[in-house]
Structure 1
Amino acid sequence: MAATFSDLHTADGLKALEAHLAGKAYVSGDAISKDDVKVFAAVPSKPGAEFPNAARWYETVSTALASRFPGKAVGVNLPGAGLASAAAAPAAEAAKEEDDDDLDLFGDETEEDKKAADERAAAKASTKKKESGKSSVLMDVKPWDDETDMKKLEEAVRSVQMEGLTWGASKLVPVGYGIKKMTVMLTIVDDLVSVDSLIEDHLTVEPINEYVQSCDIVAFNKI
């Protein structure tokens, strides 16, 4: 709904509705729609003679709703509302159900409804993409033995490149018997890189496994 109305139980609220309906039969479009139901449900009774446009629209919507929702309203007491009070409760309930279940009371959605739905979906997708998290990982890369060329080991590890993976600083750490392991930092985008897949499918397969015997995750922290 392009226009927004509030305080429709007051004269100021009805003035805004009166101005909006000037030259229009309905709140939006050329036929009764969900927008009319929502606004109708917020108007407690038929507007007075000082609001001719709103009164005409109210009578039109009231008649249409009465035919769609026959029966007496329960728990609604609006003196002087007549037919409108009988239709207001089911109209309000119908509007609520439409919000909860996307129920279309009057046929196909208008182009404006579809456009608004597409914009909401695009906004959600954009927000989700922006919120994609990152993680900082500390990894131990172990060679086969003390004869492994650790410089080539590091070059082989860093040769693995993929979207969402950034290699950081590294250092050699003695583990005994002349053997050293390489401890390396890396940053990953969680939605793009799996650490398990990185190790199993890239770091411990040919030709890198000529230098790398195994890899262990020392620390894994969300950024």
Structure 2
Amino acid sequence: MSEPPKLLLVDDEPGLRIAVQAYLEDDDEFSVQVAASADEAWALMEKSPPDLVISDIMMPQVSGYQFLDRLRADPRFQALPVIFLTARGMTADRIVGYEAGCDAYLPKPFEPEELVAIVRNLLARRNAAAATDSDNIKLEQIERGIKEILVTLGGASGLPQTVAKSEIELTPREQSVLDLVAKGLMNKEIARQLNTSVRNVEKYVSRLFGKTGTYSRTELVRFALERGLTH
């Protein structure tokens, strides 16, 4: 079972820290660390980076704005979601908060349910962005592998010089999927190109693996190029 997202709550009011931490941890959906100041929060972040920060603005010594400036100046925390909690609710104050780089702004007093909804939304967006980055890395790796195959088969031109027509029979849809795999597209992009679901694309890729006796997309592309199944 995966660990719950780690939140860091920064506020100089002990009562608020206790109440908000208890509410957020009530269903074990989140794990919450608390800090009474920006300096204390920074020390905690150095030891265990959180997935999201909830910070008061009006704090002694180091304000929430100054704390956020420090976060955004550090490459480790530039994309870290930050929610501002503050007694200030004027439009001008919210604008300052957003311009400083916060992701959400919740004036006190607030409904705990609203805070939870904002936290869930920001974490979902962060996870989606991380998944996209991961897909892009995989796509780059596949593209590099395909380019290496093309160069190996056909020299600098990237075109195979000699291919033997395979006896493998492919359906029109399997052929379309194979051609797009050979271009380095991931399943999501193939689904969009063919106006179908990712599940269907996965099904066709599995069929191609079975028909060709390959076990990876790179092996599949090499097999297809060597036998003239795609170009």
TM-score band by shorter chain is: under 0.3
Structure with the higher strand share, 1 or 2: 1
Higher relative contact order (CA 8 A, sep 6+): 1
Bigger Rg, structure 1 or 2? 1
Using the size of structure 1 for normalisation, the TM-score is 0.28
User: Structure 2 length normalisation: TM-score?
Assistant: 0.27
